[in-house]
Amino acid sequence: MFQFEIKKIFFNKRLLYLLLFLLIGIALLFARNFAFQESIMKEREQQIISYIQQGQKIINQYQTTLVKDPNDENTKALLVMMTSMVDTLYETRTAFIENDWKQELEKENQFLNDVLAFKAAGGDYALLNDTIQRTVATNKQLLTSNIPPEAEGYSIAVPNYLKQVVDILVNFGAIIIILIVIGDMLTVEFEQRSINFLYTQPLKKSTIIHSKFWSAVVVYGLVIFCGLATAFGISAMFGKQGTFLYPLLVEQGDQLNFLTISEYLFFALTSTTVIALFVIALCLLVSLIFKHSIATLLIITVILIGGYLLLGQLTFPSKEWLNPFQYVFTKETIMSVGHDWYKGIAITLFLALLCYLLAILRMRFIRV
Question: Where does the pLDDT of residue 3 fall: very low under 50, low under 70, confident under 90, or very high at 90 and above?
Answer: confident
Question: Where does the pLDDT of residue 61 fall: very low under 50, low under 70, confident under 90, or very high at 90 and above?
Answer: very high
Q: Pick the residue with more confidence: 69 or 94?
A: 94
pLDDT at 206: 82
Lowest mean pLDDT among 154-163, 230-239, 340-349, 356-365: 356-365
pLDDT at 120: 92
Lowest mean pLDDT among 113-127, 180-194, 332-346: 180-194
Lowest mean pLDDT among 30-44, 93-107, 166-180, 336-350: 166-180
Give the model confidence (pLDDT) of 297-325 as tens digits. 899 999 999 999 998 888 888 888 999 99
pLDDT at 196: 65
Question: Where does the pLDDT of residue 9 fall: very low under 50, low under 70, confident under 90, or very high at 90 and above?
Answer: confident
pTM of the model: 0.90
Question: Where does the pLDDT of residue 106 fall: very low under 50, low under 70, confident under 90, or very high at 90 and above?
Answer: very high
pLDDT at 199: 65
Question: Where does the pLDDT of residue 90 fall: very low under 50, low under 70, confident under 90, or very high at 90 and above?
Answer: very high
- pLDDT of residue 2 exceeding 80: no
Residues 6+ apart with CB under 8 A from 81: 114, 117, 118, 121, 123
Question: Where does the pLDDT of residue 148 fall: very low under 50, low under 70, confident under 90, or very high at 90 and above?
Answer: very high
Mean pLDDT taken over the chain? 90
Question: Where does the pLDDT of residue 347 fall: very low under 50, low under 70, confident under 90, or very high at 90 and above?
Answer: very high
Give the model confidence (pLDDT) of 111-123 as tens digits. 999 999 999 998 8
- pLDDT of residue 247 exceeding 80: yes
Question: Where does the pLDDT of residue 136 fall: very low under 50, low under 70, confident under 90, or very high at 90 and above?
Answer: very high
Lowest mean pLDDT among 15-19, 200-204, 355-359: 200-204
pLDDT at 197: 66
Mean pLDDT of 84-96: 95
Give the model confidence (pLDDT) of 185-222 as tens digits. 778 777 777 666 666 667 787 888 888 899 889 989 99
